[in-house]
Amino acid sequence: MGKPDFWKNSKRYYDLKSYWRNRFGCTVHKLQIDAGFTCPNRDGRVAMGGCIYCDGRGSKLRQSGALPCVADQIASGKKYYKPSASKFVAYFQTFTNTYAPVEKLKALYDEALVQEDVIGLSVGTRPDCLPPEVIDLLAGYAKKYHVWVELGLQSAFDRTLDFINRGHNFAQFARAVEALEGRGLNLCVHVILGLPGESDEDVRVTAKTLAALPVNGIKIHSLLALDGTKLGEMYKQGAIPMITKEKYASLVVDILELLPSEMVIQRLTADGYRDILLAPAWAKNKLDVLNTIHKELDKRNTYQGRRC
Ligand code: SF4
């Protein structure tokens, strides 16, 4: 299989920037919003302490004091971009962004969508935090706006989900995907590579599993050991080996080959956390990581979807 024409890009995968341009004919930026949510996997409703790698501090904005309202966060996010050339998607990013009564969610999402040039929402959440009334709310927006739901999964293996204390299993994820299907929503799934106890084949099985589901986008990053997290402590004690940059790039390319060519690649490496990153050190240089992945794609002369 060759490179699909519909990507209209110079890459060997369907990146988010190209997707936005093809779909809306202009540049689209995601504006990160911290609306003050918490997470049921941190506050005891599902589990205490959260996923073992989770930075419990929340966004930089939250760390710096009282959170501005959603409208103000959008206004300050927009300042970085050329107003005439851009549209925006309000990205409710920090912790679990459907973890509140539906009336409160509606007020927050409405506040984002009435802002000028905001064409849609992207809502980061957990598979066990999507009750029917929340899916109905999001599906209602999808009739008029461009809406993504971003679901953390990380691995298709329950033994891994247990180890990282996700607080849900794969069956719960699959049920959430089923409930979202056919509602006009775009689904993006988050996956982590380099998880303890996972073989290369496990990673490829996770990719194949997602390829067989109605998943429209994916975010991939390597496991990061952050100071102040349980994983960070385990790393300091020498209990957690970290993936090398070369192995990471090779596995990313394996995954890209297995995913459908229509699936939008929203992220190929992690961003941020520089202040508390313990390992792997190479993850600090995002450009270098991307270059390594691109070189591996070139070396294999391969594309996203080639082995799908
Ligand atoms: S689900 Fe997300 S926000 Fe909640 S503990 Fe895990 S990583 Fe943190």
| 225 CA → ligand 1 middle, Å | 15
What is the mean predicted confidence (pLDDT) over 60-77? 95
Q: Does residue 308 lie in a domain region?
A: no
Is residue 90 situated within a structural domain?
Answer: yes
pLDDT confidence bin for 293, thresholds 50/70/90: very high
Query: What is the Å distance from ligand 1's center to 192 Cα?
Result: 13
pLDDT confidence of 273, banded at 50, 70, 90? confident
Q: What is the mean pLDDT of the chain?
A: 96
In a domain, 58, yes or no: yes
- Whether the CB-CB separation of 37 and 61 falls below 8 Å is answered with no
Q: Is 95 close to ligand 1, i.e. is its CB under 6 Å away? A: yes
pLDDT (tens digit per residue) in 25-59: 999 999 999 999 999 999 999 998 899 999 999 99
> Is pLDDT of 274 > 90?
no
Residue 50 beta carbon below 6 angstroms from any ligand 1 atom: yes
Is 80 exceeded by the pLDDT of residue 113?
Answer: yes
| Other C-beta atoms lying within 10 Å of the C-beta of residue 9 | 15
Q: How many domains does the chain have?
A: 1
With the most atoms of ligand 1 within 8 angstroms of its CB, the residue from 59, 97, 126, 160 to mutate is 126
Enumerate residues 6+ apart whose C-beta is below 8 A from 110. none
Residue 244 lies in a domain: yes
Q: What CATH number is attached to the domain comprising 220?
A: 3.20.20.70
What is the identity of the amino acid at 156?
A
Q: Is 279 strand, coil or helix?
A: strand
pLDDT at residue 83, rounded to an integer: 66
Global confidence as pTM: 0.97
Residue 74 covered by a domain: yes
Q: Which atom of ligand 1 is nearest to the CA of 95?
A: 3
How much distance in Å is there from the Cα of 66 to the middle of ligand 1? 21
Q: How confident is the model at residue 2 (pLDDT cuts 50, 70, 90)?
A: confident
Which residue from 37, 38, 41 has its CB within 8 A of the most atoms of ligand 1, so it is best to mutate? Answer: 41
pLDDT of residue 84: 67
Residue 155 within a domain: yes
Asked whether 221 lines ligand 1 (CB < 6 A), one says no
On whether residue 294 sits in a domain, the answer given is yes
Domain that holds residue 225: 5-300
Tell me the average pLDDT across 257-272. Answer: 95
Please state whether beta strands 146-154 and 27-33 pair in parallel, antiparallel, or not at all (unpaired). Answer: unpaired
- Closest residue by CA, ligand 1 atom 7: 54
Residue 194 counted as domain residue? yes
